[in-house]
Amino acid sequence: MPVTDDGGLERILDLHTIAVVGCSTTPGKAAHDIPAYLQRHGYRIVPVNPFADEILDETAYDTLAAVPDSIDVDVVNVFRPSEEAGGIVDSAIERAGRLGDVSAVWLQLDITDDEAGARAADAGVDFVQDACMKVEHRRLVG
C-alpha cells in the first residue's frame, strides 16, 4: 500500500539523504530543479545519472547499485518513466535488504507502478508514487 497520508509523507521528509535516479544536469527541468530545491532545504542529494560525472556539486553515479555502500541512502527519488520504475524499486529493495539504509522510494508526478509498490511494502520500504517531493515538502514542512 503506498504512503498517502500526511504523517507518512512527513516521516519520509524527515529523512536526510536522497538518491535521485534520473537527476538531470539541465536547469529548468524538474529532474534538476526539484533536487536543487531539496538540496537548498538541507537534504543531501546523491545524483544517479549515467551521463554525468557531477550534478549539483555532488558526484553522480551510473546506477543506484553503483552508489557506494559508505553512503547511507534514506530515500530513492525517481525521475524515470513508469516502465523503468519497477527495476529501480527492486534495486532499492535489494539495497535496503543488504545495507538496511533505504527506508522509502518516491516516484515523482505521473510515475506509477502498483506492482513495484506492493513489492516495496512487502520488503518494509515506504512507497510513494505520482507525487512531487517538492510540492509535498512545501505543503508539509514549509
**127 phi, psi to nearest 5 deg:** -140, 125
C-alpha cell at 105: 522510494
Is pLDDT larger for residue 1 or for residue 27? 27
DSSP notation for 43-97: PEEEEE-TT-SEETTEE-BSSGGGS-TTS---EEEE-S-HHHHHHHHHHHHHHHH
Residue-level pLDDT at 142:
81
pLDDT at 1: 60
pLDDT in tens, 56-90: 999 999 999 999 999 999 999 999 999 999 999 99
pLDDT in tens, 4-41: 999 999 999 999 999 999 999 999 999 999 999 999 99
Angle between helices 6-13 and 133-140 (to 10 degrees): 100
pLDDT, tens only, 90-125: 999 999 999 999 999 999 999 999 999 999 999 999
